[in-house]
């Protein structure tokens, strides 16, 4: 379908991927290389129609659509409503329209905008929240504070959207893992995502964090530090109904479960991982592609 790289969350593997923007409107997060060599732009209605014609032929029963690319929720309300109408006209069984979004994109919209977008059938947001600690948000250049994230995520929830939150362990650097865990859990407890997607901080060549890690300006935690951070995070999480999606290869302990029911089992799994890695707790993880941890 596409002649260029498209990013999507792993759980959108079976979704219709509909490209409505190119690149990311922010493109300044310190750890991100996804869209560094491309500029941001909106796809034309004709191109969107062309994709939908293809999908209506080959995926006519599709129930889930994921809008591309980095933060399509930056589009104005009129554009998003128009795209939702195009989707529902082409694919009659679609019940979920989701996309990557940022706290900044919500802030740009009025309550009335959010209500119209939700009524048009866009109902889920995948948000790279990363942390609830201001120091870490600033270091990652996310472009919002934890207070702003709390306010905007509450507005999103009040408008009837589900949201999935990405969290990055280690993003506050060595020695700050526990406070990062506490602040992030507090924020999530107040905003109740339907899914938490965890990973650990890593950087590839071409982004500011890569240079900071090389120069020593930023030091990631040790293996033991990561496990301490995730343990504190899980202990403090008070989710009502949430998937804990910890399957990213950059995690020290790759695991998943449902919260609240699997909380003790997830903590036990962390404990077992700690025992198995006893000789490596003081070391930094060795990384491969996408930050995959090798032992």
In angstroms, give the least distance from the CB of 119 to ligand SF4: 26
* C-beta closer to ligand SF4: residue 222 or 250: 250
* C-beta closer to ligand SF4: residue 15 or 126: 126
The region of 12-20, 29-37, 184-192, 196-204 touching ligand SF4 under the rule CB under 6 A is 29-37
With beta carbons less than 8 A apart as the criterion, state whether 63 and 15 touch.
Answer: no
* C-beta closer to ligand SF4: residue 12 or 71: 71
Q: Please list every residue from 85 through 144 that binds ligand SF4, using CB under 6 A.
A: 102, 128
- Dihedral (CA of 36, 176, 198, 291) sign: positive
In angstroms, give the least distance from the CB of 171 to ligand SF4: 12
* C-beta closer to ligand SF4: residue 120 or 207: 207
Please give the size of the binding site for ligand SF4, defined by CB under 6 A. 12
In angstroms, give the least distance from the CB of 195 to ligand SF4: 17
In angstroms, give the least distance from the CB of 198 to ligand SF4: 15
* C-beta closer to ligand SF4: residue 172 or 253: 172
Q: How many beta carbons lie within 10 A of that of residue 288, not counting itself?
A: 12
The two three-digit tokens of residue 85, written as one number: 């109408």
* C-beta closer to ligand SF4: residue 28 or 42: 28
- Interaction of residue 26 with ligand SF4, rule CB under 6 A: yes
Q: Treating both helix axes as pointing N-terminal to C-terminal, what angle do 45-58 and 77-90 enclose, rounded to 10 degrees?
A: 30
With beta carbons less than 8 A apart as the criterion, state whether 226 and 269 touch.
Answer: no
**Segment holding 97, helix H or strand E:** strand 96-101
With beta carbons less than 8 A apart as the criterion, state whether 254 and 260 touch.
Answer: no
* C-beta closer to ligand SF4: residue 10 or 216: 10
Q: Which of 8, 19, 22, 34 binds ligand SF4 (CB under 6 A)?
A: 34
Q: Treating both helix axes as pointing N-terminal to C-terminal, what angle do 146-158 and 111-119 enclose, rounded to 10 degrees?
A: 50
In angstroms, give the least distance from the CB of 105 to ligand SF4: 9
> Pairing relation of β-strands 293-294 and 286-287?
antiparallel
Q: Please list every residue from 237 through 256 that binds ligand SF4, using CB under 6 A.
A: none
**Collapsed DSSP state (helix, strand, coil) of residue 241:** coil
| Separation of first and last alpha carbons in the chain | 37
Q: Which of 68, 71, 228, 230 binds ligand SF4 (CB under 6 A)?
A: 71
The region of 20-28, 44-52, 228-236, 253-261 touching ligand SF4 under the rule CB under 6 A is 20-28
Distance set, CA 201 to CA 78, 250, 257, 273 (Å): 36, 8, 22, 19
With beta carbons less than 8 A apart as the criterion, state whether 43 and 20 touch.
Answer: yes
Determine phi and psi for 137, rounding to 5 degrees. Answer: -60, -40
The region of 30-38, 86-94, 182-190, 250-258 touching ligand SF4 under the rule CB under 6 A is 30-38
CA–CA separation, 88 and 35 (whole Å): 29
In angstroms, give the least distance from the CB of 35 to ligand SF4: 6
For ligand SF4, the binding residues (CB under 6 A) are: 24, 26-29, 32, 34-35, 70-71, 102, 128
């Amino acid at each position: 379908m596409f002649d260029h790289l498209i990013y999507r969350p792993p759980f959108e593997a079976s979704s219709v991927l509909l490209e409505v923007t190119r690149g990311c409107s922010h493109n300044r997060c310190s750890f991100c290389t996804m869209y560094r060599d491309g500029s941001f732009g909106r796809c034309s209605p004709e191109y969107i129609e062309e994709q939908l014609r293809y999908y209506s032929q080959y995926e006519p029963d599709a129930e889930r659509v994921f809008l591309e690319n980095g933060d399509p929720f930056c589009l104005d309300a009129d554009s998003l409503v128009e795209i939702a109408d195009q989707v529902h006209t082409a694919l009659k069984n679609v019940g979920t329209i989701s996309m990557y979004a940022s706290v900044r994109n919500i802030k740009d919209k009025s309550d009335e905008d959010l209500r119209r977008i939700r009524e048009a059938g866009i109902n889920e947001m995948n948000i790279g929240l990363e942390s609830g600690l201001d120091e870490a948000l600033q270091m990652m250049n996310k472009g919002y504070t934890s207070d702003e994230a709390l306010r905007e995520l509450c507005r999103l929830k009040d408008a009837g959207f589900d949201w999935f939150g990405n969290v990055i362990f280690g993003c506050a650097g060595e020695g700050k893992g526990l406070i990062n865990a506490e602040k992030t859990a507090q924020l999530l407890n107040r905003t109740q995502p339907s899914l938490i997607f965890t990973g650990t901080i890593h950087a590839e060549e071409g982004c500011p964090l890569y240079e900071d890690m090389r120069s020593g300006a930023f030091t990631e935690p040790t293996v033991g530090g990561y496990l301490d951070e995730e343990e504190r995070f899980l202990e403090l999480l008070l989710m009502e109904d949430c998937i804990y999606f910890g399957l990213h290869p950059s995690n020290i302990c790759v695991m998943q479960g449902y919260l609240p029911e699997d909380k003790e089992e997830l903590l036990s799994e962390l404990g077992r991982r700690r025992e198995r890695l006893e000789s490596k707790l003081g070391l930094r993880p060795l990384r491969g592609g996408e930050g995959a941890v090798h032992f």
